[in-house]
Amino acid sequence: AQAVQRIQYGEEDIAIGARPDHLPAGIAFRPIARSPLLFIAQAGQAQLAERLSGSATKAAWEDVPMILSEEGLARERVDRWFRQLGVKPHIYAQVGGNEAIVSMVSLGFGVGIVPKIVLDNSPLAGRTRPLDVQPALAPYEVGLFTQERRREEPLIQAFWSQLPE
């Protein structure tokens, strides 16, 4: 969530993160992968999954306990999604990391939003189920960030050049 900010402040030479909707001036980005943002529920909650799958409605979502990121792109996108639906989400917990969201969802505390790449690599993936919610959230574009003015520095250029354009 803080990759771009850390690059802007010169705290890092290169950072890996999700590309924000609006990339600040002076920041270079090189994509690595795309990852859908998924709504997930506990695997055993079939009735909840059925109720929430398909076209989202205010009535279906207004009382669902949500486990959300404290900040970052996923939080911005889900906040916008709920606003467009006209729902003030019932936030059960706000956590600092995606794996914490997967853990809490797997225990049945609510519905979460995580990048598919996180779920694919989680040891708890089998205890959760992705929901087919429409409209879907825009996917993450994961990649490298650096300051534009530093791209020609030998170390940064060597690393940057290893990725296809």
Do residues 30 and 52 both lie within one domain? no
User: Rounded to 5 degrees, what are φ and ψ at 41?
Assistant: -130, 170
Domain total in the chain: 2
In tens, the pLDDT along 96-129 reads 889 999 999 999 999 999 999 999 999 999 999 9
Closest CA to 41 of 116, 135, 104: 104
pTM for the full model? 0.87
Percentage of the chain lying above the pLDDT 90 cut: 90
Instruction: Read off the CATH number of the domain in which 29 is found.
Output: 3.40.190.10
Do residues 99 and 73 both lie within one domain? yes
Q: Taking all residues of the chain, what is their mean pLDDT, rounded to a whole number?
A: 94
Q: Is the peptide bond before 135 cis (omega within 30 degrees of 0)?
A: yes
In tens, the pLDDT along 63-97 reads 999 999 998 899 999 999 999 999 999 999 999 88
Is residue 165 included in any domain, yes or no?
Answer: no
Is 42's pLDDT higher than 70?
yes
pLDDT of the residue at 1: 66
Query: Regarding predicted confidence, which is higher, 2 or 110?
Result: 110
pLDDT of the residue at 95: 95
Distance CA 154, CA 149 (A): 12
User: Rounded to 5 degrees, what are φ and ψ at 136?
Assistant: -75, 155
Residue 66 structural domain? 37-138
